[in-house]
C-alpha cells in the first residue's frame, strides 16, 4: 500500500512540476520571439512551441484525476457534515458509510464507462496491433491536434484515475468501519511550520531574545 501511495504522490508531483516548466518555457519563448533582437528573435521563431498549451492541458487533467484520489485518501476534499455530526454515533456511522460507498459506486461506474470509451477510441487497435493480430481495415483512433498523440492514451486518465478513486473510497470505508476514524486534513496547518513551544521550554537567553524587556522569572 505504501508503494501505491508513493506512486500516486510522485505522479501528481511530476504532472504539476512538468506543467509548470512547460508553461514557463512557453512564456519565455513568446517573450523572446517578440523581442526585437535579431539573433535571439530568429532562434526563438525557429522553435515550435505550439504544442505547449495542449501538453499542459493533458498534464493538468491527469494531475486532477490522480489528485482527486489523493484527496479521498488524505481527507482534503471539502465536505459539509454539520448535520451528520449532530446525529447519534450509530446514525452518523451509517450516513458516512453510505456516502463512501456511494462515492465508490459512482467512481466505479465512471471507471467502467471510461474503459469502454478508451477501448473504442483506439485502444483496441493498439492492443491488437501489439499482439500481432490483423488490424487491416480497423480505425486506429483519432490523434490530438498538436502533439498528434493517440487520444486513447490521453483519455486513459479517466478510467485509471476513477478506478484509483473508487479504491480509495473503499479503503477509507474499510478503515472507518473498523476504527471509526476518517482521514482528516487541517486546512489551517502550514507545512513545515512547527508550533511555538511553551515559554518554560525556552532557555532564559532565548526567551529574552524573543521578548525583549521580559525576564524569565528564574534566579
Chain segment 155-210, per-residue pLDDT in tens? 999 999 999 999 999 999 999 999 989 887 665 555 555 555 554 444 444 444 44
Q: How far apart are CA 71 and CA 172, in angstroms?
A: 11
Q: Enumerate residues 6+ apart whose C-beta is below 8 A from 75.
A: 182, 183, 184, 185
Beta-carbon neighbour count of residue 204 at 10 Å?
Answer: 11
Dist. CA 138–CA 148, nearest whole Å = 19
Contact 69, 5 (CB under 8 A): no
Task: Enter the pTM of the model.
Answer: 0.79
Distance CA 158, CA 152 (A): 10
Low-confidence spans in the chain with pLDDT less than 50: 199-210, 215-219
CB 29 within 8 A of CB 83: no
Amino acid at each position: 500500500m505504501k508503494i501505491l501511495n508513493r506512486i500516486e504522490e510522485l505522479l501528481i508531483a511530476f504532472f504539476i512540476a512538468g506543467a509548470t516548466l512547460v508553461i514557463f518555457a512557453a512564456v519565455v519563448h513568446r517573450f523572446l520571439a517578440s523581442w526585437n533582437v535579431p539573433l535571439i528573435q530568429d532562434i526563438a521563431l525557429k522553435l515550435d512551441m505550439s504544442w505547449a498549451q495542449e501538453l499542459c492541458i493533458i498534464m493538468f487533467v491527469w494531475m486532477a484525476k490522480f489528485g482527486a484520489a489523493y484527496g479521498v485518501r488524505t481527507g482534503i476534499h471539502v465536505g459539509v457534515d454539520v448535520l451528520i455530526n449532530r446525529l447519534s454515533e450509530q446514525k452518523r456511522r451509517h450516513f458516512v458509510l453510505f456516502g463512501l460507498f456511494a462515492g465508490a459506486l459512482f467512481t466505479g461506474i465512471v471507471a467502467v464507462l471510461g474503459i469502454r470509451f478508451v477501448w473504442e477510441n483506439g485502444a483496441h487497435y493498439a492492443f491488437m496491433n501489439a499482439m500481432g493480430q490483423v488490424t487491416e481495415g480497423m480505425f486506429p483512433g483519432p490523434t490530438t491536434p498538436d502533439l498528434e498523440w493517440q487520444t486513447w492514451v490521453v483519455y486513459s486518465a479517466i478510467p485509471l484515475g476513477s478506478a484509483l478513486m473508487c479504491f480509495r473510497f473503499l479503503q477509507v470505508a474499510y478503515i472507518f468501519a473498523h476504527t471509526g476514524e476518517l482521514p482528516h486534513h487541517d486546512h489551517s496547518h502550514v507545512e513545515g511550520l512547527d508550533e511555538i513551544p511553551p515559554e518554560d521550554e525556552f532557555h532564559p537567553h532565548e526567551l529574552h531574545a524573543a521578548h525583549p524587556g521580559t525576564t524569565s522569572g528564574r534566579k
